[in-house]
Structures are given as structure tokens and as C-alpha cells.
Amino acid sequence: AVLAHPDSPAALALRQAARALAGQVSVRTLAHLPDQLTVV
């Protein structure tokens, strides 16, 4: 429900968290994640 509103504070926080995590995990790990979990 929250993800249906891309501009909501919760969605923005999730994207920031995902972006921070992406900086710590390997590209190989990201390659195995479903597309909806990757940061565009």
C-alpha cells in the first residue's frame, strides 16, 4: 500500500535505505534480487 505512493515519506525512506544498503552489498548479490527490490 505504501509503495503505491512513490512520493510518500515512507517510500522515500525505503529508497534511501535501499540505496545505503546497495552501497554495502556486492553487485553479484544485487544481481540476484528481484527487479522490484533494486533501486532504479
Predicted TM-score of the model (pTM) = 0.41
Tell me what pLDDT residue 14 has.
86
CB 26 within 8 A of CB 7: no
pLDDT digits (tens, 9 = 90+) for 14-26: 888 888 887 776 5
Q: Nearest-5° angle of CA 12, CA 19, CA 25?
A: 150
Average confidence (pLDDT) over 24-33: 61
| Ranges of H-type helices in the chain | 9-22, 27-31
Better-scored residue on pLDDT, 37 or 11 = 11
Q: How far is CA 16 from the centre of its chain?
A: 7
